[in-house]
């Protein structure tokens, strides 16, 4: 069963409804002991990085997430939840992240190298380009998914599974070992997004 982490800053409704459409068993909880018993965890997120990390630390959920990952079970961060997986963020001042993936989260500058302005936040449909296969992205075809974000992960090439182009190459699906992240909203991204969520849910059966 998949546990959705409730720390007060996630779009629990849309994620849970997507899992229901996939007939994937899930529960929503803020209880550390319950969440540790899950077969996989989803860390959703909407809002500011610093506020989210404060809530995770205050509730002890950050420590629970590390224990869960150390136990070898799959974790998926969505949108802000993906950004929280990294070492730090510059949003509202430098803040430490969960440090499960290498790199930092930085803001789109809004100005291209040639001096042309571009819109921040990055909002709407953009094409996903798969760079390599993973357990959640086997033989996937490039297609469009839905983004809403002003910050992006500046990370190592080795953890980038898929990216999109928005003035620069933007990591869109990341992963290392049993930790995965999706910058876009898979639950709002039509067939491809649902396919990716389904692949994550199926990791339970493969584990």
Confidence of residue 206 (pLDDT cuts 50, 70, 90): low
Share of the chain above pLDDT 90, in %: 89
Say whether pLDDT at 11 is over 70: yes
pLDDT tens digits, 17-43: 999 999 999 999 999 999 999 999 999
Name 1's Cβ contacts closer than 8 Å, sequence gap at least 6: 25, 26, 27, 38, 39, 204
Q: How far apart are CA 11 and CA 14, in angstroms?
A: 6
- pTM summary value: 0.95
* pLDDT value, residue 205: 67
Say whether pLDDT at 188 is over 80: yes
* pLDDT value, residue 2: 97
Confidence of residue 174 (pLDDT cuts 50, 70, 90): very high
Q: How far apart are CA 157 and CA 128, in angstroms?
A: 16
Say whether pLDDT at 68 is over 60: yes
Confidence of residue 10 (pLDDT cuts 50, 70, 90): confident
∠ Cα 41 5 7 (to 5°): 155
Mean pLDDT within 52-59: 96
- Please count the CA atoms within 13 angstroms of the CA of 165 that sit on its side-chain side: 5
| Mean pLDDT of all residues belonging to the chain | 95
Given the residues 91, 122, 149, 185, the one annotated as active site:
185
State yes or no: is 79 an active-site residue.
yes
* pLDDT value, residue 78: 96
Given the residues 79, 91, 122, 149, the one annotated as active site:
79
- What DSSP assignment string belongs to 52-112? HHHHHHHTTHHHHHHHHHHTT--EEEETHHHHTTSSEE-TTS-EE---SSSSEEEE--SB-
State yes or no: is 164 an active-site residue.
no
CA dihedral in degrees (163, 128, 97, 8; nearest 10)? 170
What is the token pair recorded at 181? 């992240």
**3-state SS, residue 45:** coil
CA dihedral in degrees (117, 122, 124, 130; nearest 10)? 110
Report how far apart, in Å, the C-alpha atoms of 15 and of each of 10, 66, 164 are: 9, 22, 22
pLDDT tens digits, 72-119: 999 999 999 999 999 999 998 899 999 999 999 999 999 999 999 999
Confidence of residue 9 (pLDDT cuts 50, 70, 90): confident
Share of the chain above pLDDT 70, in %: 99
Given the residues 91, 164, 187, 195, the one annotated as active site:
187
């Amino acid at each position: 069963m998949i546990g959705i982490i409730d720390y007060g800053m996630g779009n629990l409704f849309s994620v849970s409804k997507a899992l229901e459409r996939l007939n994937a068993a899930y529960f929503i909880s803020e209880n550390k002991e319950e969440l540790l018993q899950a077969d996989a965890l989803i860390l959703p997120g909407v809002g500011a990085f610093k506020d989210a990390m404060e809530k995770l630390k205050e509730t002890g959920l950050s420590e629970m997430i590390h224990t869960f990952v150390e136990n070898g079970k799959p974790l998926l961060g969505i949108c802000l939840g993906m950004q929280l997986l990294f070492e730090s963020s510059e949003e509202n001042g430098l803040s430490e992240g969960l440090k499960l993936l290498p790199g930092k989260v930085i803001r789109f500058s809004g100005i291209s190298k040639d001096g042309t302005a571009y819109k921040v936040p990055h909002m709407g449909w953009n094409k996903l380009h798969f760079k390599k296969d993973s357990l959640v992205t086997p033989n996937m075809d490039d297609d469009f998914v839905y983004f809403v974000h002003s910050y992006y992960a500046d990370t190592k090439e080795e953890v980038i599974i898929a990216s999109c182009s928005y003035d620069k190459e933007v990591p869109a699906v990341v992963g290392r070992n049993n930790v995965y992240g999706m910058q876009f909203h898979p639950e709002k991204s039509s067939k491809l997004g649902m396919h990716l969520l389904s692949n994550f849910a199926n990791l339970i059966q493969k584990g």
